[in-house]
Amino acid sequence: MDKKVTVVGAGNVGATAAQRLAEKELCDVVLIDIIEGVPQGKALDLAEAAPIEKHDAHIVGANAYEASAGSDIVIITAGIPRKPGMSRDDLISTNAGIVKSVTKEVARFSPKASLIIVSNPLDAMCHVAFEASGFPKNRVMGMAGVLDSARFRAFIAMELNVSVENTHAFVLGGHGDTMVPLPRYSTVAGIPITELLSKERIDALVKRTANGGAEIVSLLKTGSAYYAPASAAVEMAESILKDKKKILPCAAYLEGEYGIQGLFIGVPVKLGRNGIEEVIQIRITEAEQAALNKSAAAVRELVEVLKKLK
Ligand code: APR
């Protein structure tokens, strides 16, 4: 393949992302993990599936970063996932250290890469990677909105018994309980769901979306969601690798957009060859802006926690 993507963290999210990248033949894949043997073993297992899955993507595993050199994109999933009863924010001190050290290494070997952060708490980890890499803001982004809106879309399709392909959904804000799903901009075959569902049902779906991660953690008990998070990261990577210029909700560093200054938070962006090529500013109501401000305040609190960790 003429593109190369490194996935750091060969756990549930990372290995699944590697599988999806290879099976879509988007790029060659380098899987990196701190545990010896794990990335090598998973990469070999994936390579042995290639003849059956009919792809020619090369997949290698490594513990050192030399193998990642010259990557177009690095997806960072290294860190610990949450357990039942934990919020994403409880992971901050452990994952901040991991994301910082990993980012320094990937930035050294792939100075032109776009970074897609997956480790939680997501928006705060974007700050860590932004600072540790020294990359421009267009090349550091977080995967959350695509996942949150996919969850919302899945619930809308289940509720209305329609194809998921007919659904579209928009979610703004941080990746946490304060996320802001926007029903007005969420549609089925172009029809806003506000025309199709009662307020009570929409509120229930919105609530389920905001708790989507916790719902899965409470079922799995030993880890957090990974199939949908991996799919979401790969959709972002695909848009960049193919320069598709898809509009996707991602955590982006804002400097005044939506009235927010100096903070990573989920907004619609255009993803192409240069990473975040544009922050799309949609008109939102006063109530939606207030909800977004509340979400931004929650992210800012975590960023303050990060400063104290230093
Ligand atoms: N360098 C490289 N890999 C690391 C490091 C490090 N410093 N520290 C931990 N890892 C690896 C672990 O060895 C493990 O294989 O990260 C991997 C994480 O995998 P899982 O424990 O399976 O966690 P996963 O479900 O993939 O979630 C990873 O993404 O969605 C978020 O909240 C989630 O922060 C978590 C992250």
**HEC secondary structure over 129-155:** HHHHHCCCHHHEEECCHHHHHHHHHHH
CA–centroid distance, 159 to ligand 1, in Å, is 33
Q: Give, using CA atoms, the residue closest to atom 6 of ligand 1.
A: 34
| Rounded CA separation 269/52 (Å) | 36
Tens digits of residue pLDDT in 89-101: 889 999 999 999 9
175 is catalytic: yes
Burial (0-12, 13-18, 19+ Cβ within 10 Å), 198: exposed
The pLDDT of residue 177: 84
The CATH number given to 145-309 is: 3.90.110.10
The pLDDT of residue 4: 98
The pLDDT of residue 152: 97
Mutate to test the pocket of ligand 1, among 34, 104, 146 (most ligand atoms within 8 A of CB): 34
| Rounded CA separation 194/190 (Å) | 12
What fold does the segment set 4-142 form as a domain? Answer: Rossmann fold (3.40.50)
Mutate to test the pocket of ligand 1, among 77, 93, 146 (most ligand atoms within 8 A of CB): 77
Locate tokens 């949450």: which residue? 82
CA–centroid distance, 81 to ligand 1, in Å, is 7
User: Nearest Cα to 111, choosing from 60, 71, 64?
Assistant: 71
CA–centroid distance, 261 to ligand 1, in Å, is 30
The pLDDT of residue 81: 84
Locate tokens 């509009």: which residue? 247
Tens digits of residue pLDDT in 9-65: 999 999 999 999 999 999 999 999 999 999 999 999 999 999 999 999 999 999 999
Q: Mean pLDDT of successive 10-residue segments in the chain (310 residues)?
A: 97 98 98 98 98 98 98 97 84 94 98 97 96 98 97 98 97 89 95 97 96 95 96 98 98 97 97 98 93 94 88
How many Cα neighbours within 13 Å face the side chain of 104?
6
Q: Name the segment(s) of the chain with CATH classification 3.40.50.720.
A: 4-142
The pLDDT of residue 199: 96
Q: Name the segment(s) of the chain with CATH classification 3.90.110.10.
A: 145-309
